């Protein structure tokens, strides 16, 4: 268990560390990529803007000097060469017929150029074309007559971007160095932060590994909202387990006491007979009385054991239940027929009121046991010349059984506990009439097995009413279907 808890704590630490690292490192890489792309884009845009501005200034002089009409100008030639040298590129002048009239490389003069960018430019649109693979930027700028607003031609400037690429590489190396520094910083911070974040969970692990009785006290972890919720859930579980443990101990104590009491009585009776036999002959009347008492104690012991076994069967998660269509009216009549002699002996009147014939899907044996216990209790804990009234009713979904009596009643403070095992309202009176304290617990289990409900209404000295509601059709739960499929 301890090794498992340690593994859980390490796994949690590792997961938190990974989350922190990913959260820190991914943005750094994204920022690096964004910086480099932005540098490239801004630098290219700036260079294209400068080239376009210089071409716009030259264009006005070209129109004024009639250069496009064939007039030569050394000044304009010199300016074109300065621009070409400045950007270490090539300058071409193209007229409105797409013919190259000047090329600073002197290679394509007189040729015709037809390209989409050039067509767009001569039709009034400025163009810029740039490809990384060719390592060149091409800028096309119109030559416009300011007086007539007519586009007479265009400048096409090609400039290498080797310096931009080199600048980008240099920036990349600088960013990489910064990335490495930040990565180490993030790793260090992540280790530290993850150890702090996991500290409350390690506290739980250390607490459970300390050997302390974890049922003894609540766990407090107010560090974070999540750990506080975890501690709350843990404490709820602890209280539930503690209640179960106390219930188990109480049950074991009650079982031991209930089984020991008849054994003690039989021991006393048998010892008395042995002592009488040692002193002299035992009178037949005494011998007979003692043997009758021993027989009663044996019956009582057997009753307790039988009820315990029945309760254990119903407590099993995979309780075997035999469902069959049953006439509930006939079943109740059969139970009353069996119990009527007991009632007549105690001068208790039993009656049945049934409104409709009822056919339901039930476990006949378990339901018989539950209803028998309720009617038997009504007889046992009744007043002299009292009555027990049983009524049956039904709707579209459930059938209802009501058992009313004119008995001694149940105090209000005891009504929440009567379905607990070995709980007795009047312990001395219960033992007097042979009660084991398990009847109502068995009844409740039998009703719950049918997915039903049971309620009690009582006033001290005015009698008791038990109502049972059970579905007409039995439907298996998901757990029952799974247990049946697995063969358990």
Same domain, 341 and 479: yes
Residue with structure tokens 């004119």? Answer: 406
Q: Answer whether residue 53 shows pLDDT above 50.
A: yes
Same domain, 354 and 480: yes
pLDDT band at 5 (very low <50, low <70, confident <90, very high): very low
pLDDT band at 239 (very low <50, low <70, confident <90, very high): confident
pLDDT of residue 428: 46
**% residues pLDDT > 90 (the chain):** 12
Same domain, 330 and 304: no
Greatest mean pLDDT among 174-178, 252-256, 467-471 lies in: 467-471
Q: Answer whether residue 11 shows pLDDT above 90.
A: no
Residues 6+ apart with CB under 8 A from 152: 63, 68, 95, 96, 143, 144, 145
Tens of pLDDT, residues 359-409: 999 988 888 888 988 998 898 888 888 999 999 999 999 999 999 999 888
pLDDT of residue 207: 65
Produce one character per residue of 156-181: b if its CB has 16 or more CB atoms within 10 Å, e if not: bbbbebeebeeebeebeeebeeebee
Same domain, 364 and 479: yes
- Tell which wins on pLDDT, 172 or 243: 172
367 and 469 Cβ atoms separated by less than 8 Å: no
- pTM value? 0.46
Range in 18-27, 147-156, 176-185 with the lowest mean pLDDT: 18-27
Tens of pLDDT, residues 416-455: 778 776 666 654 444 444 555 677 887 888 898 889 999 9
User: Any idea what the CATH number is for the domain that residue 253 is in?
Assistant: 1.10.287.130
pLDDT of residue 128: 52
- Tell which wins on pLDDT, 275 or 487: 275
238 located within any domain: no
pLDDT of residue 258: 59
89 and 158 Cβ atoms separated by less than 8 Å: yes
174 located within any domain: no
User: Any idea what the CATH number is for the domain that residue 377 is in?
Assistant: 3.30.565.10
Q: Among 313, 331, 357, which residue terminates a domain? A: 313
pLDDT band at 351 (very low <50, low <70, confident <90, very high): very high
- Tell which wins on pLDDT, 32 or 362: 362
209 located within any domain: no
Please count the structural domains in the chain. Answer: 3
198 located within any domain: no
State the residue range of the domain holding 136: 2-168
Same domain, 162 and 261: no
> What does the pLDDT average to over 292-306?
73
Range in 243-247, 262-266, 293-297, 412-416 with the lowest mean pLDDT: 243-247
Q: Among 253, 283, 313, which residue terminates a domain? A: 313
Same domain, 35 and 112: yes
Q: Which of 51, 108, 109 is nearest to 80 (CA)?
A: 51
Same domain, 47 and 133: yes
22 located within any domain: yes
d(CA 371, CA 13): 58
Q: Measure CA 221 to chain center.
A: 21
Range in 205-219, 268-282, 290-304, 462-476 with the lowest mean pLDDT: 205-219
- Tell which wins on pLDDT, 23 or 236: 236
Same domain, 99 and 117: yes
359 located within any domain: yes
Tens of pLDDT, residues 81-127: 888 888 888 899 888 888 988 888 888 888 988 888 888 888 876 55
405 and 381 Cβ atoms separated by less than 8 Å: yes
Q: How far is CA 345 from CA 221, 342, 379, in A?
A: 65, 5, 10
d(CA 486, CA 179): 58
pLDDT of residue 383: 87
Same domain, 140 and 95: yes
pLDDT band at 353 (very low <50, low <70, confident <90, very high): very high
User: Any idea what the CATH number is for the domain that residue 77 is in?
Assistant: 3.30.450.20
Q: Which of 297, 294, 293, 310 is nearest to 258 (CA)?
A: 297
190 located within any domain: no
Rg (alpha carbons) of the chain, rounded to whole number: 50
Same domain, 353 and 475: yes
Q: Answer whether residue 462 shows pLDDT above 60.
A: yes
Q: Among 168, 185, 207, which residue terminates a domain? A: 168
d(CA 318, CA 326): 23
217 located within any domain: no
**% residues pLDDT > 70 (the chain):** 72
Same domain, 378 and 477: yes
Same domain, 405 and 308: no
């Amino acid at each position: 268990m301890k090794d498992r808890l340690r593994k859980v704590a390490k796994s949690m630490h590792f997961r938190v560390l990974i989350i922190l690292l990913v959260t820190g490192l991914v943005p750094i890489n994204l920022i690096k990529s964004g910086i480099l792309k932005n540098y490239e884009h801004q630098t290219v845009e700036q260079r294209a803007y400068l080239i376009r501005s210089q071409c716009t200034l030259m264009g006005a002089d070209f129109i004024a000097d009639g250069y496009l009409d064939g007039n030569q100008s050394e000044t304009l030639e010199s300016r074109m060469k300065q621009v070409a040298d400045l950007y270490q590129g090539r300058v071409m002048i193209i007229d409105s017929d797409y013919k190259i009239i000047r090329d600073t490389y002197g290679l394509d003069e007189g040729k015709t150029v037809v390209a989409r960018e050039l067509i767009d430019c001569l039709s009034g649109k400025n163009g810029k074309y740039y490809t990384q693979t060719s390592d060149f930027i091409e800028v096309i700028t119109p030559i416009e007559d300011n007086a007539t607003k007519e586009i007479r031609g265009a400048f096409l400037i090609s400039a290498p971007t080797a310096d931009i690429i080199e600048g980008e590489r240099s920036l990349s190396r600088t960013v990489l160095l910064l990335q490495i520094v930040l990565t180490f910083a993030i790793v260090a911070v992540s280790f530290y932060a993850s150890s702090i974040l996991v500290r409350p969970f390690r506290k739980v692990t250390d607490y459970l590994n300390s050997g302390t009785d974890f049922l003894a006290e609540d766990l407090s972890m107010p560090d974070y909202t999540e750990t506080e919720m975890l501690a709350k859930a843990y404490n709820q579980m602890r209280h539930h387990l503690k209640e179960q443990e106390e219930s188990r101990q109480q049950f074991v104590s009650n079982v031991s006491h209930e089984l020991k009491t008849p054994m003690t009585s039989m021991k006393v009776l048998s010892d008395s007979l042995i002592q009488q036999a040692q002193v002299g002959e035992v009178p037949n009347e005494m011998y007979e009385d003692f043997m009758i008492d021993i027989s009663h104690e044996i019956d009582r012991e057997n009753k307790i054991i039988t009820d315990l076994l029945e309760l254990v069967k119903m407590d099993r998660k995979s309780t075997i239940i035999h469902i069959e269509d049953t006439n509930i009216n006939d079943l109740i009549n059969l139970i009353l027929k069996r119990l009527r002699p007991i009632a007549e002996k105690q001068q208790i009147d039993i009656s049945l009121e049934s409104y409709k014939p009822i056919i339901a899907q039930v476990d006949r044996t378990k339901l018989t046991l539950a209803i028998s216990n309720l009617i038997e209790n009504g007889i046992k804990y009744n007043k002299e010349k009292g009555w027990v009234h049983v009524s049956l009713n039904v709707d579209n979904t459930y059938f209802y059984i009501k058992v009313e009596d004119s008995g001694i009643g149940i105090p209000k403070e005891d009504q929440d506990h009567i379905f607990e095992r070995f709980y007795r309202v009047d312990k001395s009176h219960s033992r007097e009439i042979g009660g084991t304290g398990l009847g109502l617990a068995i009844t409740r289990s039998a009703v719950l097995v049918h997915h039903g409900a049971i309620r009690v209404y009582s006033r001290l000295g005015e009698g008791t009413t038990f109502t049972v509601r059970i579905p007409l059709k039995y439907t298996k739960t998901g757990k029952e279907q799974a247990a049946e499929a697995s063969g358990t």
